[in-house]
């Protein structure tokens, strides 16, 4: 019995002082993976409860918007990833080419929107050059088409369906979106709402509902920091 008591005591002591099982640290959430369509007609990336809510009204044909995409998105994503800032992109249409490109970009929904926009900006000079180089005869031909046919023809000339396909959107689906009258009306509604809020050009940024005087990352970041980003 003495030996048994000693063994029991040793066993109990070992249990008391054995280290607890290690609990793996909780993996931080990457909020850039959370993307939803918003009631306002945009697409929002990030934590819906973020302290700073950033909205960009942008145009896919706008070179200044492309510059922001190339130089500002990477540092912005550092804020979005940590959940401090949410970023919403709303289409602000400037011309007929913009209508066609925006309808294609929006066609794939939330999961494909931001990768598609990135591809449009990355190739803007290529497809913009193709469309700018259209002959007068071709432009006259386009003017005689219906709205849907014209938007499809512009997309064909610019290679927009290829951009869509690179993001996993079938060509047939892209063409269907280009002739969708409701989708066309929706981007018109977004435009009208933006104008009523004082948007006159692109890119225009709103931080927590207030339009700010910023057109690039260096001028925008101070507003984000001041708002608590």
The answer to whether residue 131 is domain-embedded is yes
CA-to-CA distance for 227 and 229, rounded, in angstroms?
Answer: 6
The answer to whether residue 1 is domain-embedded is no
Is pLDDT at 6 greater than 70 in this prediction? no
The answer to whether residue 23 is domain-embedded is no
What's the sign of the alpha-carbon dihedral 5, 7, 11, 17? positive
The answer to whether residue 87 is domain-embedded is yes
* Mean pLDDT value of segment 16-23: 50
What would the two tokens of residue 28 be? 């931080």
Pairing of strands 204-207, 210-212: antiparallel
The per-residue pLDDT for range 89-134, each reduced to its tens digit, is: 999 999 999 999 999 999 999 999 999 999 999 999 999 999 999 9
The answer to whether residue 55 is domain-embedded is yes
SS3 call for 207: strand
The CATH number for 207's domain is: 3.40.30.10
* Mean pLDDT value of segment 177-194: 96
Bigger pLDDT: 156 or 2? 156
Q: Which residues form the domain of 133?
A: 33-226
**Burial class of residue 181 (count of CB atoms within 10 Å of its CB; 0-12, 13-18, 19+):** exposed
The answer to whether residue 41 is domain-embedded is yes
Predicted pLDDT of residue 28: 83
Cis peptide upstream of residue 59 (ω within 30 degrees of 0): no
Pairing of strands 52-58, 85-91: parallel
Is pLDDT at 199 greater than 50 in this prediction? yes
**Domain total for the chain?**
1
- Cβ neighbors of 117 (< 8 A, separation 6 or more) are 60, 69, 89, 105
- Cβ neighbors of 227 (< 8 A, separation 6 or more) are 51, 52, 207, 208
C-alpha separations of 105 from 74, 127, 134, 153, 218 in Å? 20, 14, 22, 16, 27
Pairing of strands 52-58, 43-45: unpaired
Which of the four pLDDT bands, split at 50, 70 and 90, describes residue 15? Answer: very low
């Amino acid at each position: 019995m003495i030996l048994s008591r000693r063994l029991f005591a040793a066993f109990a002591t070992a249990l008391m002082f054995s280290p607890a099982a290690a609990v793996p640290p909780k993996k931080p959430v990457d909020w850039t993976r959370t993307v939803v369509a918003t009631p306002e007609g945009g697409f929002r990336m990030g934590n819906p409860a973020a302290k700073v809510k950033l909205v960009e009204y942008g145009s896919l044909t706008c070179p200044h918007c492309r510059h922001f995409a190339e130089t500002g998105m990477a540092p912005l994503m550092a804020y979005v990833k940590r959940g401090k800032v949410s970023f919403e992109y709303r289409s602000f249409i400037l011309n007929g080419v913009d209508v066609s490109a925006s309808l294609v970009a929006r066609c794939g929904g939330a999961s494909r929107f931001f990768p598609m926009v990135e591809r449009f900006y990355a190739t803007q000079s290529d497809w913009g050059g193709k469309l700018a180089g259209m002959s007068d005869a071709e432009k006259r031909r386009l003017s005689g088409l219906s709205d849907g046919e014209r938007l499809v023809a512009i997309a064909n000339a610019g290679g927009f369906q290829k951009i869509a396909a690179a993001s996993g959107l079938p060509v047939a689906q892209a063409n269907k979106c280009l002739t969708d009258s409701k989708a066309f009306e929706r981007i018109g509604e977004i435009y009208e709402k933006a104008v009523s809020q004082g948007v006159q050009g692109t890119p225009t940024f709103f931080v927590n509902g207030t339009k700010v005087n910023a057109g690039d990352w260096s001028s925008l970041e101070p507003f984000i920091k001041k708002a608590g980003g």
